[in-house]
Amino acid sequence: MEISREDLLKHKAALQQQLEWIDQQLAKEGSTQSPPTGTPTPQPTEDPGREFAEANRRFQAASAAAPTPAPVPPEPAATVQPAHVPDLSSKAPMDGLSGTQKLGCAAVAIGICLGILFALFALPYLLYD
């Protein structure tokens, strides 16, 4: 969605009118009221770097006083014995399913097809005869 230049200029003029009205209202009320009191803003110290330097000095003194523990060497990783993996590089690649497996797959496929045909054609005659 694109906004045309003319629309943007109209919005800018409207905003400028609102800002002028707000300035007029503030000028009117400024002479009769005191500014609102809120939370006081923190005033910077005379030397902001002094606090940092002092904290750094305390940290250095504390770390120098505390003994440094000796580094603990990591424990050696436990050797994991791999499961028995047969060496397939020397064997001939498998040429598919065996004859018994092929016969079993064909029997299952024929059984599924016969079941579907029975459900579609024979079962309705048996149920609604």
SS3 content of the chain, % helix, strand, coil (to 5): 60, 0, 40
Mean pLDDT of the 81-108 span:
73
Choice between 73 and 28, residue whose per-residue pLDDT is larger: 28
What is the separation of C-alpha 98 from the centre of its chain, rounded to a whole number of angstroms?
A: 49
Mean pLDDT of the 70-82 span:
68
Q: What confidence score (pLDDT) does residue 33 get?
A: 59
Choice between 58 and 113, residue whose per-residue pLDDT is larger: 113
| Degrees to nearest 5, angle at CA 57 with 52 and 63 | 125
pLDDT at 107 over 90: yes
pLDDT at 5 over 90: no
Q: What confidence score (pLDDT) does residue 34 get?
A: 58
SS3 sequence, 16-65? HHHHHHHHHHHHHHHHHCCCCCCCCCCCCCCCHHHHHHHHHHHHHHHHHH
Tell the burial category of 35 from Cβ atoms under 10 Å away from its Cβ (0-12, 13-18, 19+): exposed
Mean pLDDT of the 78-107 span:
72
pLDDT at 123 over 70: yes
